Structure 1
């Protein structure tokens, strides 16, 4: 059995800036900023929500306390539904692939994402995709993206009552951080150029495979099933 661990933003969903807007609104309202929040300068693609919160505090000289993290991220998640309705869409081919995974008994799948679990559920639930993923690793587990892999593997093992060898695990994502997160646990990595990085930019980080997008299921399965 092979294990697929999916990123969300830029891989499963095209957010159209929904998360950025929701977080900017949260930053302004929670901390009463005198000017509109501009978080576009933070390089947050492939990062975790908790890492991003730390960078926001640094940028606006806000005390980095557990209470401030909670207030910011709770407000952000509350803002998400309205913003998701404005611009977010499921990327081409995703629904077909997720359905095909469920029809195979030799493939397991879960999430490996920088979103908090509640944020992931909000985003995927908006498109009725949440139930495709019975387990995952989230920003709740660590603010550091490269520390999420072992959490995902542990939950996959518990859910399926078996251990997955690293070479049977595929990390699927759209940023160099997804690639690094897979490499650090010895997993295989599939980089897809559906986010903010081109295929050539992703290839520079040495993923095991790369695709322009996931619209061609035959192309996807040729990667996953190939040895």
Structure 2
């Protein structure tokens, strides 16, 4: 163990739950703030914390950490309530089970998550679509750990070091994601970036942003694994 730390984004990289995520966010924001009618904000690849703060500011609400913690509790409850809908309406993206299983079984790979979701929400999504058990979620970086996504890289590395005694570096850490914010997290957090053009960013945009490797999707297990281990 210990040659490569692979950190996976969740939404639009591993799975797609359509509008359910936005619906859960909106309902949770309303429950937390009392604003049943509110302006939404957009920004693929944001942490939940940053998305909450930006939505607060867009609606004249002063964001606070206490309010954010109430929001995350509501959001996680909403994800649990919508579990059946995630199972029924969500889908796993091409090649994902195969490449995740390859990493899970590889003796030189530590595999976890780096996502804007909270850990509980991410775990619910993975479980709903049969991807649970393929990563060690205790070792990841999540959207309620820090506001700024690049900081999650260090959070994950520290958790891995505490749990395993292995210290990973920018040269031995790889992020897998689909957004320009994922690329930014790799660049500023210190990691290599393997991108999948399965979200809103095109392959050309991801390359221009600085991703070292870009795939249309993760279906070519051998090629993706080779990039993760290179």
Query: Which residue of structure 1 aligns with residue 187 of structure 2?
Result: 183
Alignment match of 1:120 (pick from 112, 116, 122): 122
Q: In 2, are the aligned partners of 1:170 and 1:187 still within 8 Å (CA)?
A: yes
- The residue correspondences of 1:1-227 to structure 2 (distance < 5 A) are 1-33=3-35, 35=37, 37-39=38-40, 42-81=41-80, 82=82, 83-85=85-87, 87-134=89-136, 135-226=139-230
Q: Aligned to 2:209, what secondary structure does the other structure show?
A: coil
User: Where in structure 1 are there 5+ consecutive unaligned residues?
Assistant: none
**1:99-151 CA-partner distances (Å, limit 9, x unpaired):** 11122111111111111122212222222423222210112321111111111
Q: Write the distance in 2 (CA, Å) between the matches of 1:164 and 1:30.
A: 38
**1:185-206 CA-partner distances (Å, limit 9, x unpaired):** 3321111101111101111101
1:38 positional shift: 4.8
User: Where in structure 2 are there 5+ consecutive unaligned residues?
Assistant: none
Q: Write the distance in 1 (CA, Å) between the matches of 2:130 and 2:88.
A: 17
Q: Aligned to 1:131, what secondary structure does the other structure show?
A: coil
CA pair 58-214 structure 1, distance change in 2 beyond 3 A: same
Question: CA RMSD, aligned part only?
Answer: 1.8
Greater than 6 Å deviation, 4+ residue runs: none
